[in-house]
Amino acid sequence: MRWWDGSQWTPTLQPTHKPPKKKMGCLPVLMIGAAVVIGLGVIGSAFGGGSDDEEDSPDRPAAPREFSQFTAEIFCEDKVREMLKSPSTADFPDTTATREQGGAFDVRGVVDSQNSFGATVRSTFGCTVTPINADQARVTVDELTGR
């Protein structure tokens, strides 16, 4: 069997030179490298790799939060809400808290809520909120009128 070299039939039975191999281009090499990097990232995150932020460290205690005026207002509003005839209708349009000597807060404001007949009435309230820690407080409702 004779060999066709592309322009004529040759007298040899096999080609005299080997056809050049195709070189791998740059794109496949980059794609393989990207796949390796992504694969290592997925494996690392699956086995607990992550940031070393101080917040995430279980060995460090959380930074203490301050019991703020806003927190005192929320505690007082929650206590007043419990005392209303229809707590789900409560709206607190104006509440202010002031810090007193010794760390307690004096909280005053108004609440609009429905009474037993379904009519919306405005009541005034006052509370003393004494912080125990950042998440707990002793709340005393000193005044709740017009409920």
Three-state DSSP class for residue 45: helix
Whether 136 is in a domain gets the answer: yes
End-to-end CA distance of the chain: 110
Looking at residue 76, its pLDDT comes to 95
Q: Give the model confidence (pLDDT) of 108-123 as tens digits.
A: 999 999 998 999 999 9
Three-state DSSP class for residue 147: coil
pTM: 0.56
Whether 100 is in a domain gets the answer: yes
Query: Using an 8 Å Cβ cutoff, are 123 and 74 in contact?
Result: no
Looking at residue 130, its pLDDT comes to 94
Looking at residue 61, its pLDDT comes to 55
Q: What's the pLDDT band for 51 if we cut at 50, 70, 90?
A: low
Whether 83 is in a domain gets the answer: yes
Whether 120 is in a domain gets the answer: yes
The string over 45-84, giving b where at least 16 C-beta atoms fall within 10 Å of a residue's C-beta and e elsewhere, is eeeeeeeeeeeeeeeeeeeeeebeeebbbbbbbebbbeeb
Average pLDDT over residues 96-116: 93
pLDDT at position 38 over 70: yes
Range of the domain at 87: 69-144
Whether 31 is in a domain gets the answer: no
AA letter at 144: L
Q: How many domains does the chain have?
A: 1
Looking at residue 18, its pLDDT comes to 65
pLDDT at position 63 over 60: no
Whether 115 is in a domain gets the answer: yes
Whether 73 is in a domain gets the answer: yes
Whether 91 is in a domain gets the answer: yes
